[in-house]
Amino acid sequence: MDIDNFILNTTKKKRFIVHGAKALNKNLPQNLQRSTKDWDLWARNPQQAMDKLEDDLDKASGGDYYYEKTVPLIGSKKGEMVYRVISRITGEEVADFMKTPNEKNLYRVIGGIRWETLEHAKKVYQEILKNPQTRFDRKAKARGDLNRILAFERQLGKGSVKEVPGMFKVAPLRVAPFSFIKPSW
């Protein structure tokens, strides 16, 4: 069973919204995408969605190969929860569900599936970077994702793009002037 296609079909049927790295990859050209395994999904009732997906995955795979775990969203002031479906075999997260935010310009539909917009993702990553409670590793991931969005906007020539701290740090190339090079003859 191909888990990605299974989750994609479920997402389309249940009208979930894909956000996070998978949505970012869908909106960016291949050279700006990053590797990701789990699915980040928004649902009206995330706990019910988690229960249903876990049951459907177990049924499709012919055994009890998945389990559910609920954890608080770190850095959230509202007491938000993340509802996870995890593989018993690999121990890796398959899908994370959160409550759908009540915001405008949240998603766009591509191929019948709802994907988070770059504009919304950019706003979320900027909030993560501003939040002092956010873990360092999460900030690093958000900074990288925001850098990819800004690089894409540069390619498109969109508006003024502000740099993120630590963005595109590359050591300057130092080359000796030609006057210092002596001919070997």
pLDDT tens-digit readout, 26-83: 999 999 999 999 999 999 999 999 999 999 999 999 999 999 999 988 766 677 899 9
The answer as to whether 34 is a domain residue is yes
Decide: helix, strand or coil at residue 115: strand
Please name the helix (run of DSSP H) or strand (run of DSSP E) that holds residue 121, with its range, or none. Answer: helix 118-130
Measure the CA–CA gap between 113 and 110, rounded to whole angstroms.
5
What predicted TM-score, i.e. pTM, was given to this entire model? 0.81
Which residues in 136-172 are b (16+ Cβ under 10 Å) and which e?
eeebebbbebbbbbbbbeeeeeeeeeeebeeeeeeee
The answer as to whether 96 is a domain residue is yes
Whole-angstrom CA distances from 9 to 15, 77, 93, 183 are: 10, 33, 18, 67
The answer as to whether 85 is a domain residue is yes
The answer as to whether 68 is a domain residue is yes
The answer as to whether 51 is a domain residue is yes
The answer as to whether 134 is a domain residue is no
Q: How many domains does the chain have?
A: 1
The answer as to whether 131 is a domain residue is no
Range of the domain at 61: 3-116
pLDDT tens figures, 104-157: 889 999 999 999 999 999 999 999 899 888 888 889 999 999 999 999 999 888
> If pLDDT is split at 50, 70 and 90, which confidence band does 184 have?
low
The answer as to whether 58 is a domain residue is yes
